[in-house]
Amino acid sequence: MTINDYDFSGKRALIRVDFNVPLNERFEVTDDTRIRAALPTLKLILSGGGSVVLMSHLGRPKEGPEHRFSLKHIVPALSSLLGKEVTFVDDCIGSDAHAATSAIQPGEVMLLENLRFHKEETAGDEGFAAELAKHGDVYVNDAFGTAHRAHASTAVIAGFVGDKMFGLLMQDELENLDRFMQSPASPAVTIVGGAKVSSKIGVIQNLLPRVDYMLIGGGMTYTFVRAMGGEVGNSMVEEDKLDMAIEVIEAAKKHNVKLLLPPDSVIADEFQNEANRDSCPSNEIPMGWMGLDIGEESIRQYREAILACKSILWNGPMGVFEMENFARGTREIALAIAEATDGGAFSLVGGGDSVAAVNKFELASRVSYVSTGGGAMLEYLEGMELPGVAAIKNGEA
C-alpha cells in the first residue's frame, strides 16, 4: 500500500513529520526547509478528502514541557506555507487531545504538542505509542530524519495501527538512496569528507564494493596521510585510527576501486579565516601548519573523476568551507557535481554539511536529489536497517 494508491476520503491521517526546525529568540522559524518538505504529503491527503493530525519533536527537552520547545511556535509558519489554518493541540496524549482529534473534519489540520515532552517517546514505550495511535485512522511516516530512531512515534506505533505507509518525502528519500545503493549506473563515485574517519568508516566500508571511485576530503584526509607515513604538521589526525585507514586502502585495492586522496592541501598557521595561508603536498605539511582545504591539483583530479562518472554520492565537505578562505575545494567539487548532473549523471547529496554547502553555493537545484536525512542517511548508507523504515515495510515495529 503506497500513499498514492490509498483512499483518504473521510480518514484521519496521523502523520509523523520532522518539524525539528531552528527558531530565533522571538521563537520564529529561521529555516523552513523541513516544513516545506512535508507539504506535498499534507496536500495530497487533504485533496483526497482526508484530515491531517501532525506529530513531531522539537529540540531535546530534558524534563517535560519547556516553552522554548513548544511546537505552537511552528504554527504561524506552517499555516502560512500550507495556506490553511492549523489548529494547535497543547498535548499529544490525554483525553483533551483525543477529544480534539476525534472531532476533526475532512480538510482540517491539527498539530499535536512536542512528542518529547513525554520521556516515553524516546524510550519507545508501547503504551505511549498505543495512545498516539488513537489520533488517526491511518499512520503515515514522513520523517526520514528520525527513521533511525526506534521511538514510539517513528517505529513502535506501527504495531498499533491497521493501515500504515510512507509519506512522499520518505518515499523519495528511500527511492533515491536505493537508486545509488542497489543499482548505480557505472562508473560510480562516492565523495566522502568531514573531520573524522571514525564517523564515516561504516559508510566507506559499505560503499567500497559498489563504486569505481572513492574520493576522500576534509579533516579525515590527514589520518590517511599519516597512516601512509606522511608529514601532516598540526593537521587533525585520529592517532588511534591509523590501522583503520590502512584497512580502507587495502580494501579499495581488493575491490579494484580507485581511492583518491588529495595530493595537495591549502594550509594555515591557525584555525581561522584570517590565518596565514600556503599550499603544499598533503604529505609534506610543516609543523605549526594544518591542512584546511584541498589544493588545486586535488581539485583538478577530483573534478576529472567526477565528470567521468554516471552515479555520484557526496557526503561531507572537502575543507572548512564555513571559512571563505578555505571554501574553494568544497565549492569546486559542488560545481563539478552540478556539471556532471547537467550532463546526465545521477547525483545524490546528503549529510548536514554537504547540504549546507550546496545551499550556500546555490547549487541544490542542479543536483538530482538532496537528502534531508542526516544521521538516518548515514546509517542507511552503512547498510543498517532503520527502525522507522522496517516498521512500515515489515508491517510491525
Name the residues annotated as catalytic: 34, 196, 352, 375
Q: Which three cell numbers stand for residue 232?
A: 601532516
Q: How far is CA 317 from the centre of its chain?
A: 14
The residues, ordered by sequence, that sit 6+ positions from 102 with a Cβ below 8 Å of its Cβ are none
CA angle 240, 242, 244 (to 5 degrees): 95
Q: For residue 232, which of 260, 262, 259 has the smallest C-alpha distance?
A: 262
Distance CA 318, CA 131 (A): 46
**Count of H-run helices and E-run strands, the chain:** 14, 17
Q: Is the Cβ–Cβ distance between 219 and 268 less than 8 Å? A: no
Looking at residue 271, its amino acid is F
CA-to-CA dists, residue 15 to 54, 113, 176, angstroms: 5, 13, 22
Contact 114, 92 (CB under 8 A): yes
Contact 18, 56 (CB under 8 A): yes
The answer to whether the beta carbons of residues 48 and 13 sit under 8 Å apart is: no
**What are the residues whose beta carbons fall under 8 Å from the beta carbon of 359, sequence distance 6 or more?**
none
Half-sphere exposure of 121 (CA within 13 A, CB side): 24
The rounded distance, in Å, linking the Cα atoms of 346 and 311 is 5
* 3-state secondary structure at position 134: coil
Using CB atoms within 10 A of its CB, is residue 182 exposed (0-12), middle (13-18) or buried (19+)? exposed
Which one, of 376, 374, 347, 345, lies nearest residue 363 by Cα?
A: 347
Pairwise CA distance, residues 40 & 81, whole Å: 11
Cis previous bond, 61, omega within 30: no
